[in-house]
Structure 1
Amino acid sequence: MSIIKRTIAVITGTRAEYGLLKNLLHEIKNDPELQLQIIATSMHLSPEFGFTYQLIEKDSFYIDAKIEMLLSSDTAIGVAKSVGVGILGFADAFERLKPDIIVVLGDRFEILAAVQTAMIMKIPVAHIHGGELTQGAIDDSIRHAIAKMSHLHFTAAEVYRKRVIQLGESPDRVFNYGAPGVERIKKIKLLSKKDLEKVLDFQFGNPAFLVTYHPATLLLDKIKDELSYLFSALDAFPQAHIIFTKSNADEAGRLINQQIDLYAEKNSDRIKTYTSMGDLDYLSTLQNCDVVIGNSSSGIIEAPTLHKPTVNIGHRQDGRLLADSIIQSGATVDEIQKAIQKALSNEFKQVVENTVSPYDSGKTAEMIKNKIKNVDLKKLLQKKFFDAISDSLEKVAMVDEIRSEMTSS
């Protein structure tokens, strides 16, 4: 008698997101009672961003659907149109694949397109990394919107679990299982500095910096000036060898990448840029660098686990839970330079060494897989708004009534 397998479709649109999902993909693939489907979209299918769907296939995963949606534009209009194109593609893919549930991670516009489509087509959604804040980017609103259209929630910390519940999601559907990226670091065998230098054909200097800078999509008016300040601050460390990983396909992302390329050309003896490094090479670089610089979530979530200091610039990550190893910096030359100097100091190195990540909860991928595997899908689509405010008001009213009775007696 053949087993009817539960079909789980995992959607991925970027190189970084795929790395975070990889352990979960293996968990689902290796479970005999589950059927894994992978839907690749957006940057994965773009030559400009390195055709990173090939990394998925290289890892021996089969891609069940490829959804072209990314327009060659990084304007707000271009991003909005990409979402529309994505909805058309996801509708066709979901109709053909007929997944029992879809799994998404994070807060990008391609995931918004997928989740909108699933909601209309009455397909349950499991969302990873909800409840977080990034108040300098539209990602913040996208993340909360995805949470409201989702049916299962897997947050990276307890404060984020409480925030998802605050949005009206039922507590028995919201689980703090930690960050997949933290677990990924603990399971993967990273390259030594010697082996990494050979693979990258790049010599790590003393110091070595890993820089990733994304657009703060709600604060784009000074993006060129802020990049100029960053480059000037890096010039204050002429001995440093620097690896830049380029920006995503967000509004103004291409502008940032153009400026990075121009800066790298002027400093080709000590700077190398990457559109996509791949999971192993990126995490190995993270392990072997001296300071992580920029405004990427990787510096917030993954870097503390490897005991690396992060200089977090500007407001893009405002609202996130920060480990002690993270130095908040303004965007001026002087502020960035001083933050890097602090990160390199012996005193701060001791702080970093003793840092404990707030995003670590153990067997993240296995716990997520088991919950998705065993949940009752028939009841999942029907959501009831969890009104914590109403409950609190009722409790206050009860207390007031008791006090009133005690006073009158």
Structure 2
Amino acid sequence: MNKRKIAVVITARPSYSRVKTVLKAIVAHPGLELQLIVAASALLERYGSAVNYIENDGFEIAAKVFNVLEGENLTAAAKTTGIGILEISTVFDNLKPDIVITVADRFETMATAISASYMNIPLAHIQGGEVTGNIDEKVRHAITKLADYHFVASENARERVIKLGENADFVFNTGCPSIDIASEVVANSLHFDPYEKYGGVGAQPDLSNGYLVVMQHPVTTEYRDSRKHIEETLKAIGELNIPTLWFWPNVDAGADGTSTGIRSFREKNKLEKVHFFKNMEGDDFLVLLNNSLGLIGNSSVGIRECAFLGVPVINIGTRQNRRDRGNNVTDVDYDKDAIIEAINRIIADGKSPVSSVYGGGNAGEEIAKLLSELPLQFHKTISY
């Protein structure tokens, strides 16, 4: 029996954790062959070299695509996407996959979707149908219209994809693959020294009496204000003086402002209980989150995995607007005093109720099963 060749394109560190269990399930499935393509910021040291974790997990990489244009602004993002189309098209031509998988909503994923679509390769999209209110939402819905198969993470997302005009027979609520990993760490306690294992910079506060985790990215539609936004969070964390593990931002428009704001604040203020990391293996990161007092920032991990784990989240600003969420999320504006008040409240309240809004932990296996069964034919037509 000929195996179906499934090309999965990973373009950034969050994409790997979103699809890791899918990769495992594809490798384990007797009827599927994984063609793993790693591209864009997932290859770059300054964003944590996600490719190292991918290789350490034992996955064989079929191709690497270096296409990130420096600048961390809107023009660089657009040109990075264009370069990605050129390079990924060549990779697809060489590998000749039966199905291509693209993940979520980052701007680099557009290159994957456009290349597969114009090359008449069936495209499967993971995490379509969600809303956030910024450029990510435009990208996500555009990929939905280019995709042939849809593996969505919630029932609301499924209904939204169908309302966008997609064939309901090819829209599946599989849950989010990242919840698969979260389900494996629910019972774990902190079993590693993050300073020793991952290095990083800054103070090394004692974590035994509780700590916060911060992950805040720039908002692409507000990128000019990214430095001002991060400074409010820095002031709040500095004033609270609670042990904090802070993770570097994604490579989005405005990331330079966020990074500059962090570096400048560190130079002018003594952050005695804050340690900074570039990246961390997904399993370890979720263990840290599960044992933390809460997550501060605007990462989607607060909306997805933290809902399943019952970890309190202070969601700052507009990046996750309108996204399905559990009762673990408190929304605040870019305001130091509001952030401090919200943090004090979640510390006093403790763990949040758990939620399965994004699935129960078996998405990877379900997606692999569907990939082995779906018809390799188009149910969309393109007219010229």
Q: Give the shorter-chain TM-score range.
A: over 0.9
What corresponds to 1:396 in structure 2? none
Q: How many Å apart are 1:268 and its aligned residue?
A: 4.9
Q: Does 1:309 align with 2:312?
A: yes
Q: How far, CA to CA, are the matches of 2:8 and 2:347 in structure 1?
A: 40
The unaligned stretches of length 5 or more in structure 1 are 386-409
Matches within 5 A, 1:9-408: 9-135=7-133, 137-188=134-185, 192-193=189-190, 195-197=192-194, 199-200=197-198, 202=204, 203-204=206-207, 206-238=209-241, 240-264=242-266, 266-346=269-349, 349=350, 352=352, 354-378=353-377, 381-383=378-380
Q: Is the 8 A contact 1:24 1:369 kept in 2?
A: yes
From the CA coordinates, give the structure whose radius of gyration is larger.
1
Taking structure 1 as the reference length, what is the TM-score of the superposition?
0.87
| Aligned residue identity for 1:365 | G
User: Helix, strand or coil for the counterpart of 1:219?
Assistant: helix
SS of the counterpart of 1:218? helix
Partner of 1:214, secondary structure, is coil
Q: Which amino acid aligns with 1:63?
A: I
1:79-138: CA deviation from partner (whole Å, max 9, x where unpaired): 111111101101100000000001111001111111101100000011110010111x21
Shift of 1:207: 3.8
Q: In 2, Cα distance between the equivalents of 1:264 and 1:272?
A: 11
Deviations 1:171-215 (A, max 9, x none): 111111111111111135886325235535743164411001111
CA shift, 1:50, in A, is: 3.0
CA contact (8 A) 1:190 1:280 kept: no
Quick one: distance in 1 between partners of 2:154 and 2:270? 40
Counterparts of 1:214 and 1:296 in 2: how far apart (Å)? 7
Task: Confirm or deny: 8 A CA contact 2:181 2:283 kept in the other structure.
Answer: no
CA contact (8 A) 2:12 2:42 kept: yes
Structure 2: 5+ residue stretches without partners: none
- Greater shift, 193-202 or 307-316, is seen at 193-202
Which residue identity lines up with residue 168 of structure 1 in the other structure? G
Question: For residues 221 and 84 of structure 1, what CA distance do their matches in structure 2 show?
Answer: 23
Aligned partner letter, 1:177: T
> Are the aligned partners of 2:9 and 2:101 in contact in 1 as well (CA < 8 Å)?
yes
After TM superposition, give the deviation of residue 71 of structure 1 in Å: 1.0
Q: Would the aligned equivalents of 1:50 and 1:276 in 2 still touch at CA under 8 Å?
A: yes
In the alignment, the residues of structure 2 paired with residue 355 and residue 184 of structure 1 have an alpha-carbon distance, to the nearest angstrom, of 15
RMSD value over aligned CA atoms?
Answer: 1.9
Query: 10-19 or 121-130, which moves further after superposition?
Result: 10-19
Partner of 1:407 in structure 2? none
Following the alignment from structure 1 to structure 2, what is the Cα–Cα distance between the partners of residues 356 and 280?
19
Percent sequence identity is 32
Distance 2:187 2:84 in 1: 35
1:338 to partner: Cα distance: 1.2
State the alpha-carbon separation in 1 of the partners of residues 5 and 81 from structure 2. 25
In 1, the alpha carbon distance for the partners of 2:18 and 2:158 equals 19
Deviation larger for 166-175 or 268-277: 268-277
1:263-297 deviation per Cα after TM superposition (whole angstroms, max 9, x unaligned)? 34544531111111121221121112111000010
- Please state whether the residue corresponding to 2:113 is helix, strand or coil: helix
Aligned to 2:193, the other structure's residue is in SS state helix
Q: Distance in 2 between matches of 1:224 and 1:335?
A: 18
Q: CA deviation at 1:30?
A: 1.2
Per-residue CA deviation, residues 333-369 of structure 1 (Å, 9 max, x unaligned), is 12111111111113xx26x1x3323112442111111
Q: Which has the higher contact order (CA 8 A, sep 6+)?
A: 2
Counterpart residue identity of residue 276, structure 2: T
